[in-house]
Amino acid sequence: MIFIADYGAGNLHSVQKAFSYLGVKTEVSSDPARLAGQKKVVVPGVGAFGPAATAFRKAGFDDAIREYVDKGGHVLGICLGMQLFMSKSEEMGAHEGLGFVEGDVLRFDESCDKVPQIGWNTVDFAHDSELFKGVDDHSYFYFVHSYFCAPRYEEDILARTFFAGKNFCSAIEKNGIFAVQFHPEKSSEVGLQVLKNFAKC
């Protein structure tokens, strides 16, 4: 069973539909108490960091997921969900993140006329991971974002992607925490493979 956190800022149904296609059962809930005993947790997200972080805390998911991770649970953050895992964000002011991964969420260079990044781009692995098992290095995934994660420690970076003159972090792995800036649920077969891997790892 995959628990999908509903905190009012996620593309829940497309993620749920992707897991359903893979034959993986899911539960979508806004009740953080339901995390207890769950095999895996997914934190999707679309929108702005500040309102999403506020909604996440107001729902009680911050403490619940922190406790879940401390007990050895596996969590996958998707897009804004990945950004929420960082220490802080500069999107529309300074906002505190969950701090699962030390680092900041920064905006791409505003002088670049390609921002936001919308569409397919390659993902280059920094090291091997169960999350990308069966996926070729330099595979294409679908992105939609104007901000990117900048982890403080190199070892937390699982993959990188080049955009707007920057080789930014597009995936993270740390102590059972996985996160991807791209949308696996919108990334065809390679994206489905990532979700399948997370369900199994």
Domain ranges of the chain: 2-200
Model confidence band, residue 16 (pLDDT cutoffs 50, 70, 90): very high
Top CATH class, 2-200: alpha beta
What is the C-alpha R_g of the chain? 15
Model confidence band, residue 122 (pLDDT cutoffs 50, 70, 90): very high
Model confidence band, residue 41 (pLDDT cutoffs 50, 70, 90): very high
Q: Which residues are catalytic?
A: 79, 183, 185
Model confidence band, residue 109 (pLDDT cutoffs 50, 70, 90): confident
Instruction: Give me the percent of the chain exceeding a pLDDT of 70.
Output: 100
Express each pLDDT in 144-158 by its tens digit: 999 999 999 999 999
The CB-side HSE value for 19 (13 A sphere, CA atoms) comes to 22
pLDDT given at position 140? 98
